[in-house]
């Protein structure tokens, strides 16, 4: 979790941008919700790239005190420093890449105090085409980083090429599964090169730069279970607060990225963050899905589409009319996350049976979970009030902001890590109970167009019942 400059600033990077943003991460309480990494993306180098010794050089007009100074400032604030390069002869913005310079570049990153490397795939000199070729190209940097002796996370920005989801976990902490996101919920764009209706095409490579939230969700669905603790599918950076989507679309985008265990990197200018965006990305009940100790992604158990849709007459912002999803996944404490996504053009009533929700534990209703009652918790129920968010953003000092956050009793993951809060049943991580689904029953909800309902199901204990081989005795809480 953290922030990356690219979506808002592109090549307009500087020391001041990184340090002023880091101040905001701390004073707005975002660091204490887990947003720890400040990532400097492309365009940080001098135009000639390397010095006479072959070492990468930052642009002095942008970084007059050097990158070691940047990392020192971030570390002093309890943050971590992320950097960028490409496994090619050039970066995507055509600065010097790290291909065939992995050892010296890894040594530079370590000497600058880097904690994470986003490693792109532009200008790769044709070294793609099979999983082994791509694996070896990226593994060279992975090995070089490990050889420095510094713990540097590695994020592969390979856009899903050469089946990266089958080998990325062997050498990296996360790997991109699609082309670059842009600030649209369903709108198709030719620059996102794969056909959105041919989701299973494994030969669609270099899938572009204008991929909508819905496209990326459909792209990851078949490989969502490849995310494992320590290695995750990366759905690209968050667009919340950029202005191209509605509030409900941003809520759906954020919640699904969290539940799918994608790295959560804010992409907006948080120094000028809208209150609505702030109250989305600071929701601890949603962030607890992202940081759940089980570390496994939700998967899609249902996708319904309108097969007769006339794509020539559908407005671009309503692409996917008739399309709905149900995503669900197991959590560490035995709860179950369930997300109803309505990507259609109208509000809809959606439903899903417990048999479908727990199909991963046994098809056709055979999962033992189906025999229990489940309390339904709405994870957006305690979203920060907009007037509170506005007051925090308007406060003049970090101390005033901190006082307002303490007054609201807002969650602080620095003081109480999510694993501890979940174990201890901290109510701020569990939303609000809004109903019950009885054994063998159906979860139902009304979902606005281009929106998602996000639930945590919590098993209700009954006397004498057994679950996972353990009897539930009298006197235990009604809800576990």
Contacts of 113 (CB under 8 A, 6+ apart): 67, 68, 71, 72, 75, 81
Distance CA 145, CA 109 (A): 8
Distance CA 111, CA 294 (A): 34
Contacts of 144 (CB under 8 A, 6+ apart): 102, 103, 105, 106, 107
Q: Is 51 marked active-site?
A: no
Distance CA 251, CA 256 (A): 9
364: left (phi over 0), alpha (psi -120 to 50) or beta: left
Q: Reduce the DSSP state of residue 447 to 3 states and report it.
A: strand
**Rounded alpha-carbon distances, angstroms, from residue 336 to 83, 151, 225, 241, 442:** 36, 33, 15, 29, 14
The answer to whether the CB of 282 falls within 8 A of the CB of 260 is no
Of 182, 199, 200, give the one whose Cα is nearest residue 191: 182
Residue by residue, DSSP assigns 141-193 as HHHHHHHTTS--EEEE--TTGGGGGGTGGGT-SEEE-SS-B-S-SS---TTS-
**Rounded alpha-carbon distances, angstroms, from residue 30 to 1, 402, 416, 446:** 10, 11, 14, 31
**Rounded alpha-carbon distances, angstroms, from residue 448 to 255, 347, 453, 458:** 15, 4, 9, 24
**Helix locations, 242-342, DSSP H:** 247-259, 275-281, 284-290
Q: Reduce the DSSP state of residue 370 to 3 states and report it.
A: helix
| Catalytic residue from among 41, 120, 162, 378 | 120
Tokens 């098993």 correspond to 459
Distance CA 150, CA 36 (A): 18
| Catalytic residue from among 32, 41, 105, 180 | 180
**Both structure tokens of 461:** 């204990």
Distance CA 355, CA 301 (A): 10
Q: Is 180 marked active-site?
A: yes
Q: Which residues are catalytic?
A: 120, 180
């Amino acid at each position: 979790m953290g922030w990356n400059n690219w979506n808002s600033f592109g090549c307009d990077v500087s020391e001041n941008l990184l340090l002023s943003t880091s101040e905001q991460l701390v004073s707005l309480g975002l660091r204490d919700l887990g947003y720890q990494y400040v990532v400097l993306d492309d365009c940080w180098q001098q135009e000639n790239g390397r010095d006479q010794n072959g070492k990468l050089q930052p642009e002095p007009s942008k970084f007059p005190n050097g990158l070691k100074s940047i990392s020192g400032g971030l570390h002093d604030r309890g943050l971590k420093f992320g950097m960028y390069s490409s496994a090619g002869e050039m970066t995507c913005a055509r600065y010097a890449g790290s291909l065939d310079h992995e050892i010296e570049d890894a040594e530079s990153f370590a000497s600058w105090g880097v904690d994470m490397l986003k490693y792109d795939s532009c200008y790769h000199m044709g070294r793609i085409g099979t999983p082994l070729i791509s694996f070896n190209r990226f593994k060279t940097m992975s090995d070089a980083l490990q050889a420095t002796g510094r713990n540097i996370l590695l994020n592969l920005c390979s856009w899903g090429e050469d089946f990266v989801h089958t080998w990325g976990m062997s050498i990296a902490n996360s790997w991109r599964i699609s082309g670059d996101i842009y600030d649209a919920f369903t709108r198709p764009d030719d620059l996102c090169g794969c056909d959105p209706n041919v989701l299973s095409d494994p030969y669609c490579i270099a899938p572009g730069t204008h991929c909508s939230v819905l496209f990326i969700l459909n792209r990851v669905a078949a490989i969502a279970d490849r995310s494992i603790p320590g290695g995750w599918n990366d759905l690209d950076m968050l667009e919340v607060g950029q202005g191209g989507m509605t509030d409900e679309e941003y809520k759906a985008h954020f919640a699904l990225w969290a539940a799918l265990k994608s790295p959560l990197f804010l992409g907006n200018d948080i120094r000028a963050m809208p209150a609505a965006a702030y109250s989305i990305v600071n929701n601890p009940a949603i962030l607890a899905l992202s940081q759940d100790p089980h570390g496994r992604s939700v998967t899609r158990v249902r996708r319904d589409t309108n097969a007769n849709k006339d794509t020539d007459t559908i407005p671009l912002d309503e692409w996917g009319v008739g399309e709905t999803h149900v995503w669900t996944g197991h959590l560490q404490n035995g709860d179950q996350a369930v997300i109803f996504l309505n990507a259609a053009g109208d509000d809809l009533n959606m439903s899903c049976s417990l048999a479908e929700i727990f199909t991963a534990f046994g098809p056709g209703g055979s999962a033992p979970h189906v025999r229990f009652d489940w309390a339904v918790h709405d994870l957006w129920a305690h979203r920060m009030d907009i007037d509170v968010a506005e007051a925090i953003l308007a406060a003049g000092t970090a101390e005033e902001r901190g006082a307002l956050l303490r007054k609201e009793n807002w969650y602080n993951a620095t003081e109480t890590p999510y694993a501890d809060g979940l174990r201890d049943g901290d109510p701020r991580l569990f939303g609000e109970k809004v109903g019950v689904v009885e054994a063998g029953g159906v979860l139902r909800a009304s979902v606005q167009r281009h929106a998602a309902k996000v639930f945590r199901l919590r098993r209700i204990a009954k006397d004498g019942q057994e679950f996972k081989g353990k009897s539930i005795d009298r006197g235990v809480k009604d809800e576990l």
